[in-house]
C-alpha cells in the first residue's frame, strides 16, 4: 500500500496517485476548518455517488464519527475511505469510478469521471466550512418544498422550515431538504451540518447555519446522465418511499367547525347517497376552529358536543367504508427516540414512546390515520423523529397494517414515513399556479407523496366555483387528493349550488381573506365537474397504485418533471406548469381565470388527446381549447393504461373487468402491480405483477405474469382490451399462463 511521488500519505489505500499529501510534522500544518483540526475522508458509495466528510479530531487526534440523526438509512458502504490530514500541493487520485484532483489553497476537489469529463468542482472555505459548487449553466431543482420555484437558481435559501415566510400565501410552507439536483447530471446532498444555499451566482454556495457548526461536515455528490438514477441514489441514501395504504390515494374530505353529531354522520351519508367517491374523512381539532373533534390544542379528549359517542360513530363510519383521520398539534419540542422504546411509560416528555402513548386511547377507538399539524419551531431531526413516530407507533398496536399520517413539517428521509401538504396557502389563482411547480419540485426532492388544500386554505373573494373546479382537477392528479380550508363547506363538491357559505371562519386571518359573492354559490356546473374527476381518479387507481409501487422501488415520484424522461430536450427541462403522471400521462392544469385555451408543450413523439383521442406529433407547443370541465391530458403513443371501474371507495368489491387501453404508434409495455392494498404482505409474496407488451406493427398484445410473480384471486380474469383511437374493444381471459393475440 502506498503512493507515487516523494510525499508520504498520512493514511493510504490502493488506487492513490499523487504527491501532494504530507505526513503531519511540527512544520506541516494540518487541515483546519473554522479553527478546528480535521480529517478529510472521501469514499465511493456506489458507481454514481461519492461521499466527502470533514471530521473533527479529538485531543488524541482521533477522527470523530458522523453522528446518526436518523436521516441516512444506513452508513453507506463501499471501499474504505481515503483519509487526508494535510494537503501541501496539487494531487490526483482515483476513488471508485471517480478521478479526483485536490488543490490545497483554497481546498478544492475537482471530480471527473473515468473519461476525464468534469462532473463538479467543490471548493471548501476552511475559515467557515462553506462549500462552493458549480451550477454549470443549467437548471437546478430540489431543496424540498417551498421557496421560489422551479429552477432554483437566482435565489438565496435559508433552508428554515415552516410557514413564517413572506411567500406563504402563494408558494406555501417550507419543508427544506438539502438535496440539490442539477439538470446537467449531478446532485449534492448535504447531510451535515444544517445550512443555507446561496444560488444567486454562477457558483452556488452552501453555508453552515452558525459559526462553530461547520464540523462534522458530511455531503454526497451524485453524478449520472440518467435523471432517474440520480433520484434512485438519493433514495438509497435516505430511504425509499414507504408503501402507503391504497385508501390514502382516494379522495379525502377535510372538516373544520362542526355543529353536532348529526352533521358529521349526515355528511358521510351524502357522499354515499349521491355516489361521490370518497375514502377518508379528516377532522380538525378545536382551537383552530370553534368546534372540532377534541377539546383544544394538544387534547386527546373528544368534544362531546360533536363526538358524544366516538367509538360508535367510528363504527358507523367504518361500516360506510370511510377511514378516519384526526388532527393533532403541540408535539414535544425535543422529541426523540422510537415509539416502541421501553420508556413508553417513563414520563419523559421528550420520549416518542411517551408521546405516542397519549394517542393510544383515541387510536384504539378506530382512528385510521393522523394529521400532524404545526411543528414549525422543531429542529429538522425532531421533525423527522415525529414523522417516524406516526409510522412506527401505529404498527406497534396494529402490526402488519400500513399507517397513514399527513404532515406539515418534515426533513430528508420523511418519504419513508408519511405524506406532506403545502400549508396554509390563499385561495387565489396565483397560489394555484404556484402549486404546480411546488409539487413537481417536491417530487424531485425525494418526497413523492404530496398535495395541497384543494381550493386553497384562506378563503378570498377569488374562491369562485371556477377556481375550485380548476383546483379540483389539478388535485385529482396529485398524490394527495384532499379538500380543506377555512369556510370549509366551500370545499365540498356539492356546496357551490346551495347558496350557503357555512361557517366562514375568516375573522383576523390575513389581509386577503374574504368571501366570494353569494351569486357564486348558485352554480350547478361545479358538482358534475367534481364528480367527473373523482370518478376518473378512481378509474385510474390501477395505474396510480402501480406508480406508488414504482416510487417505493425506485424513488421516482408520481408527479414527474418532464426532465425525468426528456432530459435532452431543453424546452421540456424548463417546463414547470405541466408534468407527467407516471411515464405515460401528461397533465396540463388550467391556472388562468376565464381560460378558453391552454398552451402546453408536447415532448417528442406521438401523443393522443385523452378526451378526444386526437393524434398529434410532439416536439412542439400547442394551444388546446378548454371549457370549465376540461383539463388537458395527453397520452404517449405506446402507452398501455389500466382502468378499473368507478368505485365509491378503493376497497369496494366489483365484478367489473379491468380495462387496458392501448395507444398505438409505438411499441409499449406496462407491468400492472396489485396487492391487498393495506398490509405488508407484499413483502412476502403477497403481490402480483401482470405484464402487458404491445408490438405496434404486428398489432399484437402479450399478457403474462412477471417472472417470479403469481396470480392473486380471482385466478380467472376477464380483461377488456381497448384501442380508444379506433373504438375497438376485445376481451381476453387470463388465468396465469401467457396469452398473446392480434387486435
The DSSP code sequence of 187-198 is EEEEEES-EEEE
d(CA 331, CA 163): 17
Q: Give phi and psi for 159, each to the nearest 5.
A: 65, 20
**Residues 402, 408, 414, 419, CA torsion sign:** positive
One-character DSSP codes across 634-693: EEETT-EEEE----SSTT----PPEEEEE--SS-EEEEEEE--SSBSGGGGT--EEEEEE
β-pair type (323-328, 280-283): parallel
Residue at 651 is within a domain: no
Distance CA 570, CA 150 (A): 15
Find the helix or strand (DSSP H, E) in which 536 lies: helix 526-539
The grid coordinates of residue 225 equal 446522465
Tell me if 102 is assigned to some domain. Answer: yes
- Phi first, then psi, for residue 372 (nearest 5°) are -90, 95
Cell numbers for 647, please give them.
368505485
CATH code (residue 573): 2.60.40.1180
CA–CA separation, 12 and 450 (whole Å): 46
- d(CA 147, CA 164) in angstroms, rounded, equals 12
In a domain, 683, yes or no: yes
Give the integer Cα–Cα distance in Å for 272 and 581: 28
Handedness of CA 712, 714, 715, 721 (dihedral sign): negative
**DSSP string spanning 237-297?**
HH-PPP---GGGGS-EEEE-S---HHHHHHHHHHHHHTT----EEEEPPTTSSSS-SBSST
Are residue 719 and residue 593 in the same domain, yes or no? no
CB 144 within 8 A of CB 172: no
- 688 touches 542 (CB < 8 A): no
pLDDT at position 29 is: 63
Q: Are residues 567 and 630 in the same domain?
A: yes
Residue at a domain's end among 204, 225, 246: 225
CA distance 193 to 180: 15
Classify residue 522: in a domain, yes or no: no
C-alpha span between 678 and 391 (Å, rounded)? 14
For 674, the grid coordinates are 396489485
- Of the candidates 416, 461, 89, 386, which has an alpha carbon nearest to the alpha carbon of residue 240? 416
One domain, residues 616 and 669: no
Together in a domain, 52 and 178: yes
Q: Does 569 share its domain with 707?
A: no
Instruction: Give the separation between CA 178 and CA 192, rounded to whole angstroms.
Output: 9
Sign of CA dihedral 345, 347, 348, 350: positive
Distance CA 423, CA 145 (A): 10
The sign of the torsion formed by the CA atoms of 383, 389, 392, 398 equals negative
Residue 73 DSSP one-character state? S
Cα distance between residue 743 and residue 734, in whole Å = 16
From residue 60, alpha-carbon distances to 9, 10, 27, 86, 237 in Å are 19, 15, 19, 17, 31
Question: Which residues span the domain enclosing 726?
Answer: 657-742
Q: Give the CA angle between residues 637, 475, 251 to the nearest 5°.
A: 105
Question: What are the CB-based long-range contacts (under 8 Å, 24+) for 491-494?
Answer: 491/253, 491/254, 491/453, 491/454, 491/455, 492/253, 492/267, 493/276, 493/526, 493/527, 493/530, 493/531, 493/534, 494/270, 494/274, 494/276, 494/527
**Residue 604 and residue 677 in one domain:** no
The C-alpha angle 518, 519, 525, rounded to 5 degrees, equals 120
Under 8 Å between Cβ of 636 and 607: yes
d(CA 637, CA 278): 32
pLDDT of res. 346: 62
pLDDT along the chain (743 residues), means of 10: 31 42 47 93 94 94 92 76 90 92 94 92 95 94 96 96 93 97 97 96 94 90 97 98 98 97 97 98 96 96 97 98 97 95 74 96 98 95 97 97 98 98 97 98 98 97 98 98 97 97 86 94 98 98 98 98 98 98 98 98 98 98 98 98 98 95 97 98 93 97 95 94 94 95 91
CATH number at residue 65: 2.60.40.1760
Kindly state whether residue 348 falls inside one of the protein's structural domains: no
C-alpha distances (whole Å) from 85 to each of 5, 20, 35, 456, 729 are 18, 11, 14, 54, 70
Total Cβ atoms within 10 A of residue 282: 22
Q: Is residue 187 in some structural domain? A: yes
Q: Which residues contact 683 (CB under 8 A, 6 or more apart)?
A: none
Q: Round to whole Å and give the CA distance between 315 and 590.
A: 40
Q: Is the distance from CB of 177 to CB of 447 less than 8 angstroms?
A: yes
The answer to whether residues 57 and 177 belong to one domain is: yes
CA 435 vs CA 368, 396, 438, 559: distances in Å: 28, 36, 5, 12
Give the list of residues 6+ apart from residue 267 with CB closer than 8 angstroms, or none. Answer: 253, 255, 492
Beta carbons of 368 and 324 less than 8 angstroms apart: yes
CB atoms within 10 A of CB 369: 25
Any residues with CB less than 8 A from the CB of 679 and at least 6 apart, and which? 400, 401, 402, 686
Domain end residue (candidates: 185, 203, 225): 225
**Distance (Å) of CA 327 to CA 259, 322, 346, 360, 367:** 17, 16, 25, 14, 11
For 727, residues 6+ apart whose C-beta sits below 8 A from its C-beta are none
Check: CB of residue 560 under 8 Å from CB of residue 572. no
Q: What is the model's pLDDT at position 685?
A: 86
Round to whole Å and give the CA distance between 197 and 180: 9
CA distance 41 to 216: 11
CB 426 within 8 A of CB 510: yes
Order of strands, sheet of 98-103, starting from the edge strand that comes earlier in the sequence: 91-95, 98-103, 107-112, 118-124, 131-134, 203-208, 195-198, 156-157
Residues 580, 729, single domain; the answer is: no
Residues 627 and 585 in one domain: yes
Whether 160 maps to a domain, the answer reads: yes
626 and 677 fall within a common domain:
no
* Same domain for 609 and 662: no
Specify whether 627 is located in the same domain as 672.
no
**What total of structural domains would you count in the chain?**
3
- Residue 543 in any domain: the answer is no
Domain boundary among 604, 636, 668: 636
pTM over 0.85: yes
Amino acid at each position: 500500500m502506498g503512493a507515487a511521488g516523494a510525499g508520504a500519505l498520512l493514511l493510504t489505500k490502493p488506487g492513490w496517485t499523487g504527491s501532494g499529501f504530507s505526513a503531519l510534522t511540527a512544520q506541516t500544518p494540518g487541515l483546519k476548518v473554522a479553527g478546528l483540526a480535521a480529517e478529510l475522508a472521501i469514499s465511493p458509495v456506489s458507481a454514481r455517488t461519492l461521499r466527502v466528510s470533514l471530521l473533527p479530531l479529538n485531543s488524541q487526534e482521533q477522527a470523530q464519527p458522523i453522528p446518526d440523526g436518523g436521516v441516512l438509512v444506513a452508513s453507506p458502504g463501499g471501499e474504505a475511505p481515503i483519509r487526508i490530514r494535510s494537503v501541501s500541493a496539487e494531487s490526483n487520485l482515483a476513488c471508485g469510478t471517480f478521478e479526483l484532483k485536490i488543490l490545497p489553497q483554497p481546498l478544492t476537489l475537482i471530480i471527473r469521471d473515468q473519461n476525464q469529463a468534469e462532473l463538479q468542482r467543490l471548493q471548501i472555505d476552511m475559515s467557515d466550512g462553506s462549500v462552493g459548487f458549480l451550477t454549470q449553466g443549467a437548471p437546478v431543482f430540489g431543496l424540498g418544498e417551498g421557496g421560489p420555484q422551479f429552477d432554483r437558481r437566482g435565489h438565496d435559501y435559508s433552508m428554515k422550515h415552516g410557514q413564517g415566510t413572506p411567500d406563504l400565501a402563494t408558494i406555501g410552507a417550507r419543508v427544506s431538504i438539502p438535496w440539490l439536483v442539477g439538470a446537467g447530471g449531478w446532485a449534492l446532498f448535504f447531510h451535515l451540518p444544517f445550512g443555507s444555499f446561496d444560488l444567486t451566482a454562477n457558483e452556488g454556495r452552501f453555508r453552515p447555519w452558525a459559526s462553530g457548526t461547520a464540523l462534522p461536515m458530511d455531503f454526497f455528490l451524485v453524478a449520472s446522465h440518467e435523471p432517474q438514477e440520480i433520484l434512485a441514489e438519493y433514495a438509497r441514501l435516505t430511504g425509499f418511499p414507504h408503501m402507503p395504504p391504497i385508501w390514502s390515494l382516494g379522495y379525502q374530505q377535510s372538516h373544520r367547525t362542526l355543529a353536532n353529531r348529526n352533521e358529521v354522520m349526515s355528511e358521510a351519508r351524502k357522499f354515499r347517497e349521491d355516489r361521490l367517491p370518497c375514502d377518508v374523512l379528516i377532522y380538525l381539532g378545536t382551537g383552530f376552529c370553534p368546534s372540532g373533534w377534541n377539546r383544544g390544542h394538544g387534547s386527546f379528549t373528544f368534544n362531546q358536543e360533536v363526538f358524544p359517542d366516538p367509538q360508535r360513530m367510528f363504527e358507523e363510519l367504518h361500516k360506510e367504508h370511510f377511514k378516519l383521520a384526526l388532527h393533532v398539534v403541540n408535539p414535544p419540542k425535543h422529541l426523540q427516540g422510537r415509539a416502541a422504546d421501553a420508556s413508553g411509560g417513563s414520563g419523559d416528555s421528550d420520549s416518542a414512546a411517551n408521546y405516542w402513548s397519549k394517542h393510544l386511547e383515541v387510536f384504539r377507538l378506530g382512528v385510521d390515520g393522523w394529521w400532524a399539524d404545526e411543528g414549525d419551531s422543531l429542529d429538522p431531526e425532531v421533525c423527522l423523529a415525529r414523522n417516524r413516530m406516526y409510522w412506527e407507533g401505529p404498527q406497534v398496536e396494529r402490526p402488519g397494517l400500513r399507517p397513514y399520517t399527513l404532515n406539515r413539517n418534515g426533513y430528508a428521509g420523511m418519504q419513508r414515513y408519511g405524506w406532506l401538504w403545502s400549508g396554509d396557502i390563499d385561495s387565489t389563482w396565483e397560489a394555484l399556479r404556484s402549486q404546480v411547480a411546488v409539487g413537481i419540485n417536491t417530487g424531485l426532492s425525494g418526497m413523492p407523496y404530496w398535495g395541497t388544500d384543494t381550493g386553497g386554505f384562506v378563503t378570498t373573494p377569488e374562491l369562485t366555483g371556477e377556481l375550485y373546479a380548476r383546483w379540483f382537477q389539478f388535485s385529482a392528479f396529485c398524490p394527495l387528493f384532499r379538500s380543506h380550508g377555512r369556510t370549509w363547506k366551500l370545499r365540498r363538491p356539492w356546496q357551490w349550488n346551495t347558496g350557503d357559505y357555512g361557517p366562514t371562519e375568516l375573522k383576523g386571518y390575513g389581509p386577503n381573506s374574504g368571501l366570494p359573492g353569494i351569486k357564486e354559490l348558485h352554480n350547478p356546473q361545479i358538482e358534475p365537474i367534481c364528480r367527473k374527476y373523482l370518478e376518473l381518479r378512481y378509474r385510474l387507481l390501477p395505474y396510480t397504485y402501480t406508480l406508488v409501487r414504482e416510487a417505493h422501488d425506485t424513488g421516482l415520484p408520481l408527479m414527474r418533471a418532464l426532465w425525468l424522461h426528456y432530459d435532452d430536450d431543453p424546452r421540456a427541462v424548463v417546463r414547470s406548469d405541466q408534468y407527467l403522471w407516471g411515464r405515460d400521462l401528461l397533465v396540463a392544469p388550467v391556472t388562468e381565470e376565464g381560460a378558453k385555451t391552454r398552451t402546453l408543450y408536447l415532448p417528442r413523439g406521438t401523443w393522443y388527446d385523452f378526451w378526444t383521442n386526437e393524434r398529434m406529433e410532439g416536439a412542439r407547443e400547442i394551444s388546446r381549447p378548454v371549457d370549465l370541465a376540461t383539463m388537458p391530458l395527453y397520452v404517449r403513443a405506446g402507452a398501455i393504461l389500466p382502468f378499473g371501474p368507478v368505485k365509491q371507495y378503493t376497497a369496494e368489491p366489483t365484478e367489473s373487468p379491468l380495462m387496458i387501453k392501448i395507444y398505438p404508434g409505438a411499441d409499449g409495455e406496462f407491468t400492472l402491480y396489485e396487492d391487498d392494498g393495506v398490509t405488508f404482505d407484499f413483502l412476502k409474496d403477497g403481490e402480483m405483477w401482470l405484464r402487458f407488451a404491445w408490438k405496434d406493427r404486428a398489432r399484437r398484445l402479450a399478457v403474462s405474469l412477471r417472472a417470479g410473480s403469481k396470480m392473486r384471486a380471482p385466478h380467472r380474469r376477464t380483461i377488456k382490451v381497448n384501442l380508444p383511437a379506433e373504438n375497438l374493444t376485445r376481451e381476453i381471459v387470463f388465468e396465469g399462463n401467457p396469452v398473446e393475440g392480434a387486435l
